[in-house]
Structure 1
């Protein structure tokens, strides 16, 4: 019998069955005596969504999940409960009952279930592994599954096992798990193998029709973490750019205006971030009527935030779950995000300026990126034309920037738009190419870097660089600039770090060999500077304007 809703707006889900199973069989961790594990209303709502079924295919809707909450919210025991349920409970859709409601069966009726709890360090896996072992200490569970054997380093199931994973991506290739927890993915970055590990575990789950859930705290933009990539994927889903929407993304943070120095504002932000787990005497702020007070000690958290040894940015990420920025960031994520206009489009034939920065090859470390960024003259809309970056792994070995593609992108920009200014940092690798661009396109430009070199704009001219960076920064902070929100441009802008010189503030990578590149930020600054020079001379106003030469 096909599924039919019991109430208007209802969607089919195995969630109620799994909730009943969890409450019946699992023990609450960290208790002196046995108590059943009862998810909060907030957690129950996630479970209902996580086990949703596509009524057209009869399969589970979500293959990936993200549950992002502040430290102390209760992610570890909650995900431990989900891991046990995925290993033993009837989580696989198995048609509909006589009333048209979904029913399920355990993985063990299909294949030997393997469930993994993964992190990039052994200490991280203990976050979910320790409560998982405690939750298995239930007479009801042992009676129902007599061959269940919890051990310190793994759990033997009647068929299959649950195991922690801290090894490299290479070593988990053959261990295909039907479900995996990816813990603290804000710390899974390319340098520690976390990005590759996540990729391999998702591929393993995909081969079996399984799923993975991430449990990050707020990530730092620009670190290229797994948590940041998942947030970008969700953004693409919302914008209709992703071809697949199988991600359940649940991130909640305190409002951006939360004032760390004002107790009332801070407490309101904490109550929202912690939801059902907050121990505020008035209960939670998520539901009406409010849920009973939880376990997260908000007064103590306020004291920790106000401790002089606590960095404000760390406090915002850990306790308010706010996605912010590094302490020495040139621009913050909220500042950059406030200027985003992702639906904006630049029409063919519009007046624009271009900025270029790049590198061709590096014998050691990761080659700097090469970026071509545009800026619409009429309103200062900055947009990514192309960014070339060295791939990870073997694909990036002995990689060189594809100069033919770069030349083609420049040629296409001049063909598609009316380019009135083009500033490029030539550097050693690109001087001959910039000279060729000047010969080919120089006469078309309405603003010029100099009389002899209309495009060549050296980033080692300290005073001009400082001024250009100041103007770009001010345009973002004051809302005079908008941008397309593209992933590479955003990442490079947020990667940029403040560096104070005798001449003023400049930007740089976090360290010279960092793989977190900033070239698109430099190119955007050059495009913006060319646009300012064009506007100053009236270029684009009723078709009038004359060339200006920078001294």
Structure 2
């Protein structure tokens, strides 16, 4: 790339009509005829899409019907994500019959975004026909004949304003915030035909926009506007199961060497190996509950009946964090369900809507046979006193969640119930996130859960409320059993 003014483009515009109609076959032919592998395995040879790469392209660029507005490709490292993304970006820039195409490559910072940008630049340089069509600048690739451009951008809301992209390629979605993703989605929705495509490894935590989209894709396979392509080893597989490696890594044995993965297994911690090599969501490295244990117990079809005996657990914040009210049925098959969670959406001025919390408590007492409301008193003493006066002091208990002699046994009880499949729950996503955010700290009295670090935005209040609710439900269940035994005698 030469500095200074760029030469005028004198070559005639390229005619891509012989590649066929826009769609996956046209993209495949464009890659084979115009794109060369820039480096590594097969360098300088035509970019022939592997079958698995073609399967991805078919999902994103169907020959018939509408294209998805959003696409997410989740796979482990080393499978050529950046190379495939660069080919798709070049196709969108040159051959997708989009006049004035804007192709944006977005990543956590501009350096990361330039990985795909530089791959695109090198692919152009390796084909004289493409090189004659463009002017390459430090921050963009420009096609004068169609007034089209390709740019790398950092994942910042301000940097994403004012664009009209035909394609947004997001590199490593797991580090992108909700605000940035929303900004990209709104920008990409201005054209009749546009797409936001993310290609990423799984993230460190389920408290992320990527996990939300993975869940949506898994649950909504018929959503034509959203396509999820996910490569991951089966849950619970052994780390050294090489058949599982093949499932997660379509390039294994091709340009991803098996012996390299074997070597990495010997020196990589299990959570990192599962994430980066098996494509699995392992949550936080030190998360409290085993991965997947809580999710396996979901029973959203179970309805807690009116006047059914329940216990409510309450964990509140005084101002800007989150507040949770969680219920648990009393009996041999406890069912945990969320009554309400109120959490800060990211506004420093936000305060817990105490009247809404009070209304939720009142509605729960009206609907269920609430044997007890166990509430952490910090910041809510006046409300708890009012609830005790309204519903009776025997039914409202101040439960100090900071007291390790109470909380540690309750935490261990909850852990045992989950790992031994002794409860069910309503599948509430917020509660699942809070449980996933919780990390364990061992004490002489048992484990206690905490945030991952002081001041962390990852909230755990619903998890705390659930622990309290289950513990008190078990107490009342055992008390009823003792009554029945005495009556029998």
SS in 2 for 1:537: helix
Q: 2:384 aligns with which of 425, 434, 442?
A: 434
SS in 2 for 1:500: strand
CA contact (8 A) 1:25 1:140 kept: no
User: 1:167: Cα distance to partner?
Assistant: 5.6
Q: 1:67 aligns with which of 62, 73, 77?
A: 73
Aligned to 1:405: 356
Q: Distance in 2 between matches of 1:467 and 1:85?
A: 59
Q: 1:40 aligns with which of 26, 41, 50?
A: 50
Pick closer, same or farther for the CA change 1:53–1:539 going to 2, 3 Å.
Answer: farther
CA contact (8 A) 1:325 1:332 kept: no
Aligned to 2:15: none
The correspondence of residues 140-155 of structure 1 with structure 2, limited to 5 A, is 141-142=129-130, 146-155=132-141
CA contact (8 A) 1:13 1:49 kept: no
CA contact (8 A) 1:339 1:482 kept: yes
Please list the CA deviations of residues 72-120 of structure 1 after superposition, one character each: whole Å capped at 9, or x if unmatched: 0111111111111122223xxxxxxxxxxxxxxx111xxx211111011
The correspondence of residues 262-411 of structure 1 with structure 2, limited to 5 A, is 263=240, 265=241, 267-275=242-250, 277-279=251-253, 294-307=254-267, 310-361=268-319, 367-378=320-331, 379-392=333-346, 396-411=347-362
Matched, 1:250 2:201: no
User: 1:186: Cα distance to partner?
Assistant: 1.4
SS in 1 for 2:215: helix
User: 1:529: Cα distance to partner?
Assistant: 0.9
CA contact (8 A) 2:23 2:62 kept: yes
User: 1:234: Cα distance to partner?
Assistant: 2.8
User: 1:350: Cα distance to partner?
Assistant: 2.6
The correspondence of residues 95-110 of structure 1 with structure 2, limited to 5 A, is 106-108=97-99
Aligned to 2:35: 26
Aligned to 1:203: 186
Please list the CA deviations of residues 165-214 of structure 1 after superposition, one character each: whole Å capped at 9, or x if unmatched: 016211321122111111111122xxxxx332221111000122411111
Aligned to 1:212: 196
SS in 2 for 1:208: coil
Aligned to 1:290: none
Pick closer, same or farther for the CA change 1:521–1:156 going to 2, 3 Å.
Answer: same
The correspondence of residues 513-528 of structure 1 with structure 2, limited to 5 A, is 513-528=455-470
User: 1:149: Cα distance to partner?
Assistant: 2.7
Aligned to 1:178: 166
Pick closer, same or farther for the CA change 1:82–1:381 going to 2, 3 Å.
Answer: same
Superposition TM-score, scaled by structure 1 size? 0.78
Aligned residues: 461
User: 1:540: Cα distance to partner?
Assistant: 13
Superposition TM-score, scaled by structure 2 size? 0.88
Pick closer, same or farther for the CA change 1:537–1:257 going to 2, 3 Å.
Answer: same
Q: Distance in 2 between matches of 1:48 and 1:497?
A: 41
Q: Which runs of 5+ in 1 are unaligned?
A: 1-11, 91-105, 189-193, 280-293, 362-366, 449-453, 547-551
CA contact (8 A) 2:234 2:244 kept: yes
Q: Distance in 2 between matches of 1:525 and 1:404?
A: 24
SS in 1 for 2:85: helix
Q: What RMSD in Å do the two structures reach over aligned CA positions?
A: 2.5
User: 1:382: Cα distance to partner?
Assistant: 1.2
Aligned to 2:107: 119
Please list the CA deviations of residues 434-459 of structure 1 after superposition, one character each: whole Å capped at 9, or x if unmatched: 1111222237x7xx5xxxxx321111
User: 1:491: Cα distance to partner?
Assistant: 0.8
SS in 1 for 2:480: coil
Pick closer, same or farther for the CA change 1:33–1:80 going to 2, 3 Å.
Answer: closer
Q: Which runs of 5+ in 2 are unaligned?
A: 1-20
Pick closer, same or farther for the CA change 1:342–1:141 going to 2, 3 Å.
Answer: farther
CA contact (8 A) 1:15 1:51 kept: yes
SS in 2 for 1:52: coil
User: 1:376: Cα distance to partner?
Assistant: 2.3
Greater alpha carbon shift after TM alignment, 472-481 vs 324-333: 324-333
User: 1:47: Cα distance to partner?
Assistant: 1.1
Q: Distance in 2 between matches of 1:167 and 1:254?
A: 29
Aligned to 1:485: 427
User: 1:503: Cα distance to partner?
Assistant: 3.1
Greater alpha carbon shift after TM alignment, 130-139 vs 195-204: 130-139
SS in 1 for 2:372: strand
Matched, 1:233 2:175: no
Q: Distance in 2 between matches of 1:198 and 1:312?
A: 30
User: 1:15: Cα distance to partner?
Assistant: 1.8
SS in 2 for 1:333: coil
Q: Distance in 2 between matches of 1:127 and 1:517?
A: 34
Matched, 1:415 2:366: yes
User: 1:255: Cα distance to partner?
Assistant: 1.6
Q: Distance in 1 between matches of 2:33 and 2:126?
A: 9
CA contact (8 A) 1:68 1:215 kept: yes
Aligned to 1:508: 450
SS in 1 for 2:432: helix
Q: Distance in 1 between matches of 2:138 and 2:375?
A: 59
Please list the CA deviations of residues 253-299 of structure 1 after superposition, one character each: whole Å capped at 9, or x if unmatched: 11223222xx4x2x122111102x110xxxxxxxxxxxxxx111122
Q: Distance in 1 between matches of 2:43 and 2:371?
A: 75
SS in 1 for 2:430: helix
